[in-house]
Structure 1
Amino acid sequence: MRAIAVPPKTYSNSAVLLDSMHRLRARAFRERMDWDLDVKDGREADQFDNCRPTCILALSDRNEVAGCARLLSTAGPTLLSVRFPELIGSGLPHAAMIESSRFCVDTSIETGRAGKALHDATWTMFAAIIEWSLANGYRELDTETDVRIERILRRVGWPMARIGAPKPIDNTTAVVGLLPTDQANFERVRPASYCSSINRSRKRPEGSPSR
C-alpha cells in the first residue's frame, strides 16, 4: 500500500487517479452509506472540491485507489464553517489547522490487513494524513465524520476530541472533532508496510505563529 498527496498543481497529471477517487466516494457514501449526495455518472463531488484541496490517496500494488481524503485550508470555506457555523470562533479555526473530509476506504481491495483487524488502507490513510500535515506545518486537524469513524480512531489509538454536540445529517450521526497531527501519532498509526511519496520537507503555513 502506497500513499500519495495530490496538490492542486498536480491535478492535471493525476486526472485518472482523481477520477477513481470520485468513483470511490460515490460507492462509499451514496451506495454503501446512503448519504443524500449528488452523484453524476458514478462520481461524487461537491462545492468544496472547487476550493482546490489537497487529496490524500492510498494506492494498491495495482495502482487502484484504495482510500482517499480531502484536506482543505481552514481559511475557508470549509464543511465546518458551512454545516457547523456555531463552532466557528473561540480559537477555531487557526492557521496551523487543516480540515479533513470525505475520508473513505475500499475494503474490497485485497491488500491484506498487515496482521491487524482493520484494512491496511485505513492505517495507511491515517498515517498519510498525519505525514502530510507534519510536512506542511499543520499541528492539528479538524474533521466532520460519523460515530463509526470516531470508534475506529479510538481503536487505532488516535482518539478524536469532540467539539460541539452530535448532529443528525442524512442517515448518520455526524460529529466534529480535533485530532493532533504530531510525530507520536504518526508512529502509532503507521503500518509496517507503509510506503509514501509525500514530501517530508517542513514549511510553516502562511500566517501561522513562529515556533
Structure 2
Amino acid sequence: MRVLTVSPEKYADHSDELAQMHRLRASIFRGRLEWDVTVTKSGEFDEYDKFDPTYILATTDDARVVGCARLLPAEGPTMLEGTFAQLLGSGSLCASPNMVESSRFCVDTSVGEAREGGRLHLATLTMFAGIIEWSMSNGYNEIVTATDIRFERILNRAGWPMRRLGEPREIGNTIAIAGSLPADPESFDRVRPVDYQSAISHDARPKIRSAA
C-alpha cells in the first residue's frame, strides 16, 4: 500500500483515482455511516471540493483507492469554520499560515490488508502517515479537523491524540468534535506503518490555492 498525493495540477493525470475516491466517499459516508451528504451517480461531492484541495489517497498495488482525505489551507474557506463552527469553543478557528484542514477522511476497512500487530487497519495508518508527511513537506505544523467521538478514539489508539477545540455536539446521527493534531516527526514516526511507501517527497508545492 502506498500514498498518492493529488494536487490541483495533477487532477487530470489522476482522474481515475479521484473518481474512485468520490465513490468511496459515497459508500462510506452515505452507505455505511448514513450521513446526510450529497451523492450523485458519480459519488459524494460537496462545496469544498471546488476550492482546489490536495487529496491524499491510499492505494493498493493494483491501483485501488482504499483511503482518502482532503486538505485545504485553514486560512481559506474550510468545512470546520464554514459548516461546523458550532464545534469551535470560540466560534472561530483563529487560523494561521501553518495550519491545514483535513476533511472527508475515510478508509475501506474491508480490504484484506493485515492489521499491524493488532493495531489499526494498515490503510488507516498509511493515511495518517501520508497526511502528516504532506503537511510537514508543505510547511504546516498543525492539522485541524471536524470528526466524531469514534474517530477520536481511533486517533488515540494510533498514538496521535487530538486536542479538542470545543465540546462534543450531536450533529445528525453522530457526536461530532473539532480538534487539532500535530504535524511533526514524532507523530509521523508513531503512526507510520513498517512498509510505508510515499510519493509525497516528490510533490511538495507552495501553499497557494485558487479562489475558484
Q: Is it true that 1:153 corresponds to 2:132 in the alignment? A: no
- Sequence identity of aligned pairs in percent? 50
- Alpha-carbon deviations, 1:68-116, whole Å to 9, x = none? 0000111221111112336367772111000000000001111222333
On the 8 A contact 1:137/1:202 being kept in 2, the answer is: no
2:134 touches 2:204 (CA, 8 Å); kept in 1? no
Aligned twin of 1:209 = none
| 1:134 CA drift (Å) | 0.8
Match of 2:136 among 134, 137, 141: 134
Aligned to 1:193: 195
RMSD: 1.9
Does the C-alpha gap of structure 1 residues 34 and 90 become closer, same or farther in structure 2, counting only changes over 3 Å?
closer
Equivalent residue pairs, number: 206
Q: 3-state SS of the aligned residue for 2:201?
A: coil
Runs ≥4 in structure 1, deviation > 3 angstroms? 84-91, 200-206
Contact 2:73 2:207 (C-alpha < 8 Å) held by counterparts: no
Structure 1 alignment gaps of length 5 or more: 207-211
Partners of 2:171 and 2:112 in 1: how far apart?
Answer: 31
Contact 1:55 1:71 in 2 (8 A): yes
Query: Structure 2: how far apart are the matches of 1:95 and 1:177?
Result: 17
Alignment of 1:96-115 (within 5 A): 96-115=98-117
Counterparts of 1:186 and 1:18, CA distance in 2: 25
Query: Cα deviation per residue 1:116-170 (whole Å; 9 max; x = unaligned)?
Result: 3311000000000000011001000000001111000001110000011112222
1:60 maps to 2:60: yes
Counterpart contact for 2:84–2:146, Cα < 8 Å: no
Match of 2:177 among 172, 175, 178: 175
**Cα separation, 2, equivalents of 1:49 and 1:122:** 22
Is the Cα–Cα contact under 8 Å of residues 99 and 143 in structure 2 kept in the other structure? yes
> Does 2:80 align with 1:84?
no
Residue by residue, what CA displacement relative to the aligned partner does 1:27-67 show, whole Å, maximum 9, x if unpaired?
Answer: 10000000011111150000000011000000011110010
Secondary structure in structure 1 of the residue aligned to 2:70 = strand
Q: What amino acid is aligned across from residue 134 of structure 1 in structure 2?
A: M
Kindly state the Cα deviation for residue 202 of structure 1 after the two structures are TM-superposed. Answer: 6.6
Q: Show the counterpart of 1:18.
A: 18
Q: Using the TM superposition, give the Cα deviation of residue 204 of structure 1 relative to its aligned residue in structure 2, in angstroms.
A: 7.0
Q: Report the Cα distance in structure 1 between the residues aligned to 2:199 and 2:207, rounded to whole angstroms.
A: 20
Equivalent AA in structure 2 for residue 12 of structure 1? A
Uncovered stretches (5+) of structure 2, i.e. residues with no partner: none
